[in-house]
Structures are given as structure tokens and as C-alpha cells.
Amino acid sequence: MKAKPAPPSPLRPPSDRSEPYPSARDLLRAAAALAAVCLVAFGVHASRLGFSLDDWTMLERLRGGWSDGVRAMAQVSLERPGAIVLWPTLYAWFGIDSTPYHWLLVAQDFSAALLFYLYAGRWFGLQRLALVAASLALLTPIAPSTHHWAMSVSQQAAFSLVLGSMLLHLHWLEDGRPRFLAGAMALYGASLTLYEAAIFLPFAHACGLAVRATARGASAREAAKRAAVYGLAPFAAVAAAALGWQRLVCPWILGRPPSKGTGTSAGWILLVYRDALESYTSELWWELGIGWKALTKQFGGWMHALLAAFTLGSAVAGAAVKQRAPVNWRVAASLLAAAFLAAYLPFGLSGAYRPQVVGILSRVNHTGAFALALGLALACEFLGAAAARFGSAALERGTRALLVGSIAASFTCTTWYFAMTWVAADATQLDIINKVAAQVRGRPEVKTVVLLNAPQRIQGAEVFTAHWGFASGLRLATGRADLNGDVFIDVDRIKRHPRAGLYLYDYASGRLATPDISW
């Protein structure tokens, strides 16, 4: 007996169908290429990276074992229940060895890029465009903390889950079987239990559905209605449930206001988007200049050879991958604009964080980096097509090769440079902790250590800019729960208001002493 065909989807009309999936051969080639990009961009430094700032606090919270870690996480992260389980589990596997956490980030970079490749391919049907976009998303150097900071594991996992949910949603629109819609919403809901930075991406996805339908002949009213009901509504329902948990249920359970601020204004939102545009333009240009300077002054000979090979490979890939269909520029422009707005809206509404291209807060640019990469890939495609009008197919391929190779080389130089700053910052933090711990051990009279004359940042990568990372690192290194730490407090104020057990540590001289000694 033959199985019954799947019921038709409400969005089954030809105007709403996505481009087909890549062949198994194309998928394997793309996966191999993206794995190579990950290893070149991040594998070079992954084993040299350590812990930074909030990592130390997280490790201290988890050191009691899995069950104690879950309870400790529930006290501070009830709004993100997925993180309550994720971090104790990772600690049970990896402990306090930083290397596995950073290789996990490399694996997450790969998974996000592969999902982005599939997603872009379903929109545009161009394997070349999808592969270039996914590769540049890895290399775009405006969100280094998401590649080099262990705490970014949650954000990376959440982003991949959102991409997976939108892929399944596209499949449901064509197939119509409820299990695909349920799977899409389950992935989206799981992402919101970890991190919320990509919460509005499905809304850009729905916008793209509406514009694509009108571009294929549907009326604007019908396209908007179908996209709202079958594209937007399922995601909006899940997002509303997640926000209700965070903003209503958790404050009621904990008896305190939400831990993440919601105060914002039109001025703040405009500042966030202004900073995002600067990250894409002037700040990115500044970063690329630093990266090229590092190429000549700081990178070893083997890195020059690797960069040359990688640039050549990127150029060949950008020119050689077969084209499947012409780009619908109307759909591309609408999807790109909506993705940019969706990437930064959570931070505009939170009233807390603004984009920057270096340091911890560069994580604000993570979702936006994928939008920028798609825009750059579309620009390469457009310029290649424009070159074809004035010459042969060889000129078209050469134009794309030159553009993709140049961008890949510039981005890789800058990615390596900022990875080196994170390596140096992490090593400095560990050095500070080890040196202070060596002097504090066996001295129970020392209750608080104030750090002085230590670098706060190394080319934008934070060292100890706040007390909690330093204090947690000290307690981990010494095993003393009663030991506290602080950073960069005014010495004169300490002398005027001395406290028993308070000592100053001068990193420059390596001296630990009470404030009554002349500094």
C-alpha cells in the first residue's frame, strides 16, 4: 500500500517555493571548504587562547560539580534555562582546560557557516553565492569575541539553532507536514533558552517570504497575508512565550526585576544602528589597515605562506563554483535590509549594549556579521555580472576571483591579528592570577587584593576591566572562598579608608603590600 502524499502546504504555490537543496556532492565540497576556512581563520590560534573576564566567574560557579553547577546557574540565569544545563555539562566534560572550549567554538563556527550556506542557497539557488557568503561570515572581523571568548558558546549555539529553525520552516512551507513546523519551532524555542541576540531573524525571514512572493507574481496583499500567518505568526508565538518567561514568570519566581534591562529610547536605538553602520564601514576599514600592518610586522613566514595559499583557494572557489540561477535583486535587497534591522534590534530595545568591533562587546555584531557577509557576497556577484557585460566569461570569473580573494585575504589578516590580541590578553590574565596567588597562599591575613598597574586592554581585548573576573580567578587559583579581589581603585582613597586584610598588588613591580606602605 502506497503512503499517502503529504497534504498541500498553505504556502505551496510556485511563487513561494524555495530553491532546491544542493546535491550531495556540492554539499560535501562546501563542507570541506568551510572546514578549511574555520581551521585557517581560527584553528591557528585556538589552542593558545585561554579564559577571559566572565569565564573565570563561570568556572568558579561550576566547580562544585554538575548538580551544584545547575543550582548555581539557576540562581543567576533562570531566564535562560538552556544555559543552566549547558554550562555544567561542558564543565563536566572539559573542566578548567581552556583548549576544548575554544575548539568547540571552532566547531560551532563551522556549523553556523554550513547552515548559513544551506539557508542562502535555498533563497538564491546559487551555490557560489552561498559558499562565498558563508565563508565571509566566518572571516568578517567585526565580532572577534564570538570566536575567541569561551562564554560565546551559548550565543553561537543559539544562532545555529535559529538558522536551523528557519531552514526547517522553509521545508515545511513546501512539504506541509506539521512535524517540520514543530521541529522548526522547537529549534527556535531552544535557541531562546540560550541567548536572544538572533530572536528577530525569523521576522526578517518572513519579510523575505513576502517580497519573494510578490517578485514571482503574487499580489502584495496576498503575499503579506500569507507571510504574516504562515511565516511570522509561528515564530512570534514562540518569541512571545520566551519573553513572557523572562519578563514575567522569572521575576515572579525570583522576587526581583529582570536581570537584563529593557529601558530604551528612540535616541538609543538610533545610536545602536549608527554604531552598527560604523562597524560595517569606518571601523572595519580601520581594522583592515591594522591587519595588513600585522602581516608585515608580526606574522611569521609560515603564516605568509598559509595566507597566500588560502587567498588563491578563495579566489578559485569564488570564480569556479557553478551558477544555478540568476539573483533576484529585489528579494536580495529586502532580505539584506531586514536582516540588518533584525540583527541589532534586540540591543536597541535592551538599552544596554552598543556594537563595537573589538573587545567583549563585539559580540553585539555577531548576527550582523552574517548580514554584512551576505551583502559582500551579493556585491561580488553583482560586479562579476556587470563585468560580463563588457567582456568575456573569463573577465567575469576573473573579477569575482579578484574580489573574493582580496576580501578573504584582508579579513583573514585582521582575524589573525585580533586573535593574537586575545591570546595576549588571556595570557596576561592568567599571569596576573598566578603571580598574585603565589604571594597570597599561606597568608590568611590577606582578605582582599587590589590590582594596580596592570594593562586593562591589549589592542581592545580586555584584561581585567572589572573586579569579578579577577576575584573569581584568585579564588579558583588559591582554593580560598574568603578571598576577594578588586581592580584599579584609587590608592589615596584606600589610604584614607583602610580595611583590615586589604592588600595592594602592583603588577609592574610584583609587590604585594598593605596600603600604609608608600606607593
Burial pattern 472-485, b for ≥16 Cβ within 10 A else e, equals: bbbbbbbebeebbb
Cα dihedral: 48, 53, 57, 63 (round 10): 10
Q: How far is CA 281 from CA 284, 286, 294, 347, 418, in A?
A: 5, 9, 20, 19, 18
Q: Read off the pLDDT of residues 223-270 as tens digits, 9 standing for 90 and up.
A: 899 889 999 999 999 999 999 998 888 888 878 777 665 667 888 999
CA dist 387 and 224 (Å) reads: 36
User: What pLDDT is attached to residue 304?
Assistant: 66
Q: Read off the pLDDT of residues 303-332 as tens digits, 9 standing for 90 and up.
A: 667 777 767 666 666 666 556 567 888 999
Closest by CA position to 105, among listed 163, 38, 51: 38
Closest by CA position to 373, among listed 384, 381, 362: 381
459 pLDDT above the threshold of 90: no
User: What pLDDT is attached to residue 315?
Assistant: 65
495 pLDDT above the threshold of 70: no
Lowest mean pLDDT among 106-120, 126-140, 376-390, 474-488: 376-390
72 pLDDT above the threshold of 70: yes
Residue 302's pLDDT band (cuts 50, 70, 90): low
283 pLDDT above the threshold of 60: yes
% of the chain surpassing 90 pLDDT: 56
Residue 45, all three cell numbers: 590560534
User: What pLDDT is attached to residue 496?
Assistant: 63
Lowest mean pLDDT among 142-156, 197-211, 321-335, 422-436: 321-335
The stretch 280-290 carries a mean pLDDT of 89
467 pLDDT above the threshold of 70: yes
CA dist 188 and 213 (Å) reads: 24
Q: Read off the pLDDT of residues 87-125 as tens digits, 9 standing for 90 and up.
A: 999 999 999 999 999 999 999 999 999 999 999 999 988
CA dist 305 and 318 (Å) reads: 20
CB 341 within 8 A of CB 454: no
Query: How large is the angle between the packed helices 393-440 and 282-297, nearest 10 degrees?
Result: 80
Query: How far apart, in Å, do the first and last CA atoms of the chain sit?
Result: 89
User: What pLDDT is attached to residue 8?
Assistant: 44
User: What pLDDT is attached to residue 328?
Assistant: 86
Give 393 or 365, the one with higher predicted confidence. Answer: 365
The stretch 186-209 carries a mean pLDDT of 95
CB 187 within 8 A of CB 168: yes
Looking at every residue in the chain, the average pLDDT score rounds to: 87
510 pLDDT above the threshold of 70: yes
User: What pLDDT is attached to residue 16?
Assistant: 57
CB 49 within 8 A of CB 421: no
CB 456 within 8 A of CB 464: yes
